[in-house]
Amino acid sequence: MTAAPPRVPVVPLPRRLDSTGPERADPATQQRRRLRFSATLAGVRLRASVLPAAAVRRRQALQMCSAARLLTALGIRVAVVQPDVPWPRPGTLPLRVRNEAGLLGDLALLTAVPKTTVGWAAVADRVLPSGATLRTAEPDPDDTRMCPVTIAYRTAAGPMAAPPRTLAEVIAVVGLVIEVRLYPVVAGADRAA
């Protein structure tokens, strides 16, 4: 009879944090951000519930300020890069986001894009619990110009390959900046870009 070798217990090695990824916030900071976000969201819902339905401009201001408050509660900054030629104010040109913005990108978009842009109200209604807003006029079918926007995420370590998607991922990132880049108005031929 042969003796079996003694069993050696297998102890898993601790997972290493990716050193190339963004710096992570300490647990106390993460807890503060989570609590601030919850309190801010509750305040947004309360203000929206007591706002009269006919107060359209106040509702839009509430939505814009609420988006800024929610991003601030999570410790996120928004950097807006304006185009060389400003977007026209008197027309109603549709908004076009060229990449997947996600919830955080949509909140940043509300703070960076003029409220008169077609599509702003739809984004606000989708991401904020503030009720219905005033719908801006539909664009003229003969006017095929668009207002293009891209949204990027970065930290002090550089651009992020993939944006954080869950609340736990967002509150764990230190120094998250959402860059909203507005491009000059393009004609309909450039819409496929």
What is the spatial distance between Cα 32 and Cα 11, in angstroms, rounded to a whole number? 34
pLDDT(191) > 80? no
Per-residue pLDDT at 56: 82
Overall pTM > 0.75: yes
Least confident of 7-16, 24-33, 50-59, 77-86: 7-16
* Residue from 82, 81, 84, 76 nearest 160 by CA: 76
Per-residue pLDDT at 10: 55
Give the tens place of pLDDT for each residue, 121-137: 888 888 887 655 555 44
Tokens matching residue 112: 């960076």
Question: Looking at the chain, how many residues does it have?
Answer: 193
DSSP string, 140-153: PTT---BEEEEEEE
Rounded mean pLDDT, 58-77: 92
Q: How far is CA 37 from the centre of its chain?
A: 14
pLDDT(94) > 60? yes
Per-residue pLDDT at 135: 53
DSSP string, 13-68: PPPPPPTTSPPBPPHHHHHHHHHHHHHHHHHHHHHHHHS-TT-HHHHHHHHHHHHH
Confidence of residue 67 (pLDDT cuts 50, 70, 90): very high
100, 103, 104, 110 alpha-carbon torsion, rounded to 10°: 90
- 165 vs 189, more confident: 165
Confidence of residue 80 (pLDDT cuts 50, 70, 90): very high
